Amino acid sequence: MRYRIPDEVPRHRFARFATRASAPYWASLVGGFLPALLWSTANAWFLGCRDRRWQTAFALIGYSTVAAIGAVRLWLYQSGTFETVFGHDGRLVNALMNSAYFLGWLVVLRILIGRQVDLAAYRGSLGKQLPWGVVLIGLMVLTDRFVVPAVFDYFNGIVWVWGPSRL
Amino acid sequence: MTSDLFDAALQAAEDAMRRGSHHTALRHFEDALTANPESAEAHALLSVCLSRMNRRFGAVEEAERALRIDPELPLGHIALGYAALATGDVKGAKAAVEHVHRLEPEGVSALTLRCDIALATREQGELKTAALALLARAPEDVYAICMLSRAASLGGKGAEAERLAREALRIAPDDATAHEMIGWAFFAQRKYRQAKEAALSALSMAPDNETAFMLMAASALRQRWLTGWMFSFALWVMQNSERTFMTAVIIFNAVLMLTGDLLWHYEQTPWLEALNYGSWALAIIALGSFVILSRILAHEARNVRLVQDY
């Protein structure tokens, strides 16, 4: 039998669910960070990254760290500690900490996606381009707009769990 | 009889690879591996061939097959190193170089891979060291001369880079890498017209060469002294990949948010509004410049032709 050179197709299970690496990054700006982080981590497995286990561990540590900053900020804000310690400038410190929280999320996602970009670009060059995951982005936006505020009524503080969105 | 078939097919495959006829080489590799599917060397060479064709999944699979048959085959580790480099795994590629250097201290294949890694990571000093070591072992090696030329142009020594690239072109006038290297040497000396001609020559022989395309793009924009600067950001992002773009977005957001926080705290509402509208305008201009730049480059890339004398 004639030897067959391997076809240029990914050999991982669920490879068909992979999307462009940057899609979760841009989606996070409109739909919150936790789902974008979960999506990005899953994408590392769908793409078949060599360091997908490292990426999963990093996502867990990154999420814990940034969500903790959000929780601490919320607790300090609600307890009035900012005003007590910094006086009138307390609201500025609160705003700066909130910005740092937002940027922290972007950095975590950027590190994850930076490790997927090459492989995703290559997968996209093999015939059919990888999709943007528009349905997933739509679901994230709907959840961010309707489900999160509804849950917020019962569980004060869901924002630091879900992560803020800019729109 | 089978052994003769195998030897002839493998030799033909190696010759085809040397000529750059990778599709022809694949057919010979199939013949060789049909005759002897257990040849680790044939699997490793096939992997290198697939890497050169940018067929990454196949390259990894063939390299792993070679190493399963013979775990200590230097060529198998080199093949795995190239496959790792193609998938962006620089650490894996460097580990392959180390391993092969231990197995084969006098071999040149580890040095060639070392040059490729340094070129991919733009480590100028490391590129020069590896190229000099390669040249010491193979004095007429065109690739080593090309890498020395690139190290010189990365260090801003345009005249020296040009001299080396001309030497490489004297030995191999049809070598796409040599044409690209003389292009980078011209670029370092601000001779943008010649740099673009050299890039187009390299692209005429190797249409998928991304670095030659970037050289062509950078030279074409530098020639447009009145309007080229408008595309500087788009070109910078194109040259540095999507990662850099995402990092730029984070830095842009950081400046925007922190400035916004300060303006909001000190109740500078008009400035806050100006910042808001200004950032949207900047984002739209940046995106627009991407679209226009892509059209300009697509137009320029149509003019590929081989120039023999610069």
- In sequence order, what E strands does chain B have? none
Report ipTM for this prediction: 0.74
Contacts of residue A37, defined as CB under 8 A and 6 or more positions apart, other chains included, come to A24, A28, A59, A62, A63, A105, A108, A109, A112, A163
B234 or A67, which is more confident: A67
pLDDT band at residue B165, thresholds of 50, 70 and 90?
very high
Q: What percentage of chain B reaches a pLDDT higher than 70?
A: 99
Q: Among B244, B237, B242, B245, which Cα is nearest to B218's? A: B237
CATH topology of domain B139-310: 1.25.40
Chain B residues close to A8, C-beta within 8 Å: 55-58
Interface of B with A (CB under 8 A): 26, 29-30, 33-34, 37, 46, 50, 54-58, 61-62, 87-89, 92, 241-243, 246-247, 249-250, 253-254, 257-258, 261-262, 264-265
What pLDDT does B241 receive? Answer: 67
pLDDT tens for each residue of B249-289: 889 889 999 999 999 999 999 999 999 899 889 888 888 88
Domain B1-105 classification at class level: mainly alpha
- Look at B30 and A11 and tell me if their CB atoms are within 8 Å: no
pLDDT at A166 over 60: no
Over residues B38-65, the mean pLDDT reads 92
State how far the Cα of B63 lies from the Cα of B49, in Å rounded to an integer: 11
pTM of the shown model: 0.73
Please, what is the average pLDDT of chain A? 86
pLDDT tens for each residue of B82-118: 988 887 788 889 999 999 999 988 888 899 999 999 9
- Look at B57 and A6 and tell me if their CB atoms are within 8 Å: yes
What pLDDT does B283 receive? Answer: 83
What pLDDT does B4 receive? Answer: 86
Contacts of residue A138, defined as CB under 8 A and 6 or more positions apart, other chains included, come to none
Over residues A94-108, the mean pLDDT reads 91
- Look at A6 and B62 and tell me if their CB atoms are within 8 Å: yes
**Inter-residue contact A82 to A56 (CB < 8 Å):** no
pLDDT tens for each residue of B181-236: 999 999 999 999 999 999 999 988 877 778 888 899 889 888 887 777 778 777 77
What pLDDT does B163 receive? Answer: 97
Radius of gyration of chain B (CA): 24
The alpha carbon torsion through B78, B84, B85, B91 (nearest 10 deg) reads: -100
Pull the structure tokens for residue A160. Answer: 């630091």
- Of B128-132, B204-208, B241-245, the least confident: B241-245
- Helices then strands, counting H and E runs in chain B, come out as 15, 0
Domain ranges of chain B: 1-105, 139-310
Q: What is the DSSP string of B63-82?
A: HHHHHHH-TT-HHHHHHHHH
What pLDDT does B11 receive? Answer: 94
- Fold match between B1-105 and B139-310? yes
Pull the structure tokens for residue A135. Answer: 């349905």
Tell me the three state secondary structure of residue B219. helix
**Inter-residue contact B223 to B209 (CB < 8 Å):** no
